[in-house]
Structure 1
Amino acid sequence: MLRHATKFQILVSFAIVIWVSGDQAGFWPSQLLQRLESITYDYRVQLTLDGEVDPGLVIIDIDERSIAELGQWPWPRSVIAELIDTLFAVHGMTLLGVDVVFSEPEQNQLRDSWPVLLEQFPDLPEEPPLMTGDEQLANVLASWPVVLGYYFAGLDPAYPDVLSSVGVLPPPLQLLDDDWQQLDIPWVRAERFTSNFELLQNAANSVGSGAGFFDNPVVDADGMIRRAPMVQQAANGQLYPALSLSMLLELLGNPPVQAIIETGAGVSQLEGFDVGGFLIPTDSRGIVQVPWYGPERHFNYVSAVDVLSGEVDSDLLAGSIGILGTSAPGLKDLRSTPVGAVFPGVEINISLLAGMLHQRFLSEPAYARAASTLLLVVLGSIISVAFPYLTAFRVLAAGLILMSVHILINTWMWNEGLLLAFAPVTVVLIGTTGLHLLGNYWRESQRTSQVTSLFGQYVPPELVSDMVRSDFETSLVGAEKELTVMFSDIRNFTAFSEQVSPSQLSEVMNRLLTPLTRAIHANRGTIDKYMGDAIMAFWGAPLADDAHADHALQSARDMQNALAQLNSEFKDEGLPALAMGIGVHTGPMNVGNMGSEFRMAYTVLGDNVNLGSRVEGLTKSYSLDVLTTDATVQQAPDWLFRPVDKVRVKGRRQPVMLYTPLCRRQEAGSAQKELTARTREAFDLYQDQKFALSLALWNALALDFPDDPVSKIYIERCQIFADDAPGEDWEGVWTHTSK
């Protein structure tokens, strides 16, 4: 039986090796292995980002602020012309690429109606007196080194017989010799294009390279951009460069481009391009690995509106190479990449240009797949034959050593600029090692069972039973922890419910509790229970949260905002608005699974829980939406709190200081800071029994903040205490006798 198990183990191990090797050789591509390779590639990219910024490269950003100040995109061509002219004439930029397309002439009512005006008024000049925006932009393009952008596209699935292109293409890319034409290179092919209209394209052509495409049709199956074509072949059979390549050509004075052809074992294929001594390694289709330098906004960004308004530092732009593009989400030029799920397309193009200038590209040599396939076959065969005869411990040790060597070699090759597949070897090592580890362990267990069954009547086996609890299971056991608890309650909900039908009330409850719960969950809160229209929640368990007080206060604010939005909907529906009081308190509480043998619940108990409930009840007395205690204040230094009162709640002898959170400190305005400071001064005088002085401050506060409920309360108290002092033993505590 054990011998059969060993043979089965070897056969399964060889099956894993053959499956992975066949994928690497291209016999039966596996989507699973390709996906794993993409994941490991992304991790390697993220781990090797150098973080260095090239000060000579800059993105002129059509950002949200520019759109807000200059108007909706597209902007008038005269604005674009002014922007480009300012970059060169004022700030001394060296080269500018344009990651947008001007496919149609700009509408000009005066120019369009001029022939009609000439018929009515023959004495008018033959041409309108004012230059159009397109003419202004064309003049600018003819004056400065600007590389326009355009994009290619495939067939439209909705109209497969229609090959409609817009605009005109720039001059095609000319390779130095025609050797590449004999190879039948599978270029990335496009059927249609959307380019700049003739006036603008001709103006750009007159200065230099003219234009380059900025689309990327080689998006991976998971929607990520990891590669980009350097050239595409249009329907006319001509080759056209990418925007980044066209900018490099312009920068170098349009040198000849040489296709690098490698020949080996009777096979010739494209390996890259030589552009004036700058090497661009590609695959056999002319596609490069995008050289990633950092996360989004790694390069210098300059807002377009700052350029036009003169608020940009000329030293940043002087002598720089830039690309005009957009990071605004509304303009839909955001991509998914290994360094960011939402990454501006313009930054991908400038990363490609940076890779050319820095000569920093990962190359995958033609022999890489063959070498990887050979390595898989040899290594997999050795493992399949040798591992079944090792102990489980030795299998594990050998597997870890081989994996370490694999990681070190792959990392070294990566740092040298060579891209080798990581996932196939990893899958073989983990798959075969895991298989033999389990198989050998099972065979060792079976052998032990055989010995035990044979000699058990003489030597009885030991039985050891260990109960192992996971971290989460342990957390279900009752324990005392410092947590933050919240109670919320809708005020006068009974009166509200009398005005709607039972079916409406059920709908209102769902509409009410859903956004409130969402606000709690979004800030890592745990819902303890719903009590009609009230909610009890806590923070800090079952998952530990060092910022539990901060998250509870943020939840309270989000809940009030959600209620305000809901009240707006109620108003439109003719329903009365609702108000909600929220009490927040921090302190030691007992948390865990509690209940009976019939029903259990994960909840919190203790005096501090009761105090949190009392604090919520006091929101009515002070006409405030949120109240919290000094214990919570100490745990939330990022918030600005206004002191409210020092109270003794019903059922509790120890007094507690109450506050109301106003906002986060970095959000505080002058009015909020003034309100807090003046309240503290007036409250301290009140605590010191200087009621006349305190009354004067509260009256002044009420004049400046007429809707402040706290001032009204203290004005009434100070008037009473001024006539009837509470006595020397008064602690400054207001005792509440109801919940």
Structure 2
Amino acid sequence: MMKNNFVRAFLLTLLTLLIVRVLSHYTWAQNLEASTFDLRQLFFAPPTKASDDIVMVWLDEATMQSLAYRSPIPRDFLAQLTEQITKAQPKVIGYDIFFKDPSFEDADRALAKSLSETNAYVVVPRRENGEVDTLLPLFENVVKGVGLADLPFNPFDAILREAQFSFHTQGGERSSFAAKLYEVATGNDALEMVSDLSLFPKFGPLQWTPLSDQKRTKVRFAGPPSTPGDAKNVFKVYSAKLVAMGLVPAAWLKDKIILIGAGYDDLKDAFLTPYYAKHTGYQRMNGVEYHANVLSSLLTKQFYYEAAPVHIYIFLALLAFLLLYASLSFQLWKTAFTGLLLVGSYIFLVIIAFRSRGILLPVISPLLCSVTSLGLGMSFRAMTEGKQKRWIRGVFSHYVPPQVVDQMMSNPDLVKLGGEERYVTSFFSDIASFTTISEKLDPTTLVKFLNEYLSRMNEILFRYGATIDKYEGDAIIAFFNAPLDIEAHENKAVRAALEIQTASKAMTNEWKEKTGRDIVTRIGLNTGPAVVGNMGSESRFDYTAIGDTINLASRLEGTNKFYGTRVMFSETTERALSSEIIRRPVDRVRVKGKTKPILLYEAMGMRDVAEKFGTAMRSYVDAFNSFEKRYLTQAETLIASVLQKFPDDGPSLDLKKRIDRAIAEPAWDLVTDLMSK
């Protein structure tokens, strides 16, 4: 069964991966995955330090209110702002403002003059349909470089989560605004840097990279959106009005990368980020601050890392296989527990990996994988087990108690129907002198008698957990501890045999007038290994047991008539019995075909029997033990005292005969040969 489930789990794993791959390409799945990134960024973001080299100069509301008009931003003011920043000797100035259309000629010339006098600056045209907008020729002749201001929004929720460092245009590859600033400030290519795997973590065979397969990276925001004048801002932010007036010390701007951009109240250049939500209190993030976060990641080499798709699919395959194997092999609650444990552990790992290392593990695809795996596994098991359970009920409902059938159906894997060796207690019974009884009854009455007798005995056996092998006329063949384990099956077998004796006496009272005889049930029990399973032809078979253990129980049932006993069992059964069951040794016998003698016992009843026999029971056992030790004179005296009180006791009479024989035949080994049943 385990091997079959292994193969089934492997095949269903392939189907699961195919389904997950298809589902993962749907927009809703991608949006859900993006939302999990938002939650992680909002609640579990790893400590991220903003680069100290970045300073933002905002055209904030105070600045805008001080200007003659708001749009376009007066270029003579921008010229004044640029001159003041240039005096502070910054490393590079980046304008998140596009100078495409002309304004007042004097103002345009003033700005062009101030731009030409600064050491380096970058302005940002935008890309539309693959074409890059051009700057006003007046400015294009004086700038040192340009970077694209394109923002890789999620097309479905318009949230900015990613950064792209290079864009394909009709004129070739062009750097993004943040990438161009990085290149001017450091002399290095941004895309080459993030593509250099040697700079990033590697755990065993897993290489983590900040770049996705689309050559994008999730933005590792240094913090929530800034607010003018807030000391908690992760970046240094100054009002353009104050900078232009020379009120910001030059030392605060020296050797810094200055980003100039809009930040006023009615700004359209503000965007949704993972921080934006009604319950967080955070507002949209200005475009210039988004660029600052991307640039900060490049400068500090702080990124979020992702595994290669092949590694993710290897993990999904392992997860799917484990869940499928569990759903095919375990009970429902164990499968559910395994699923919850695996998924819960993985979610915990997702949070820890993100918080401690900035590693982005997928969430939705593993959840889809888990649900699909459990769904496929449960469905397959329901289809196969439904057929198996119907077969089990049909086959076993006549053999074993209903509660055992229910247990087998709840977990069919407990049962090995193809054949196995089990340690069982075998049960054989028949009615003494049944031939004589049957001759006194007409066929209809005989059938009624047998049905009533077998029904009563069957009910008792089922109550103690027996499996009915078969009925042969008046004989009942059964065994305990198969197909399922039964605790203390030896005790239950003997107790069932004793209760059958009580039931036989009750039937005697009801049927003696018709049968003319007492209903005496003789029972043989033996415990040991036996082969159990479905045996027979392809068209007809029974769940049965075979082996020496079964054969000896049959012999012991017939042996009762030689000793005048009702319930006989072997020493292997006796060793496991509790003290509540009163028994006594009967004889040591040698079965035909075997050389090793077997000690036989009689089950006399429960504790109340000891009171009935009193000291005679102790005398009988002492007599038997003396006989075994060849203390024959002592044995003879003891058994004589027993027979004085119970002159018709079968085992005592037989022991007396064996004592006499041992006295007459000193060479006898004291073992009785059972040559017939």
TMscore range, shorter length:
0.3 to 0.5
TM-score w.r.t. length of structure 1:
0.44
TM-score w.r.t. length of structure 2:
0.48
* CA radius of gyration, larger in: 2
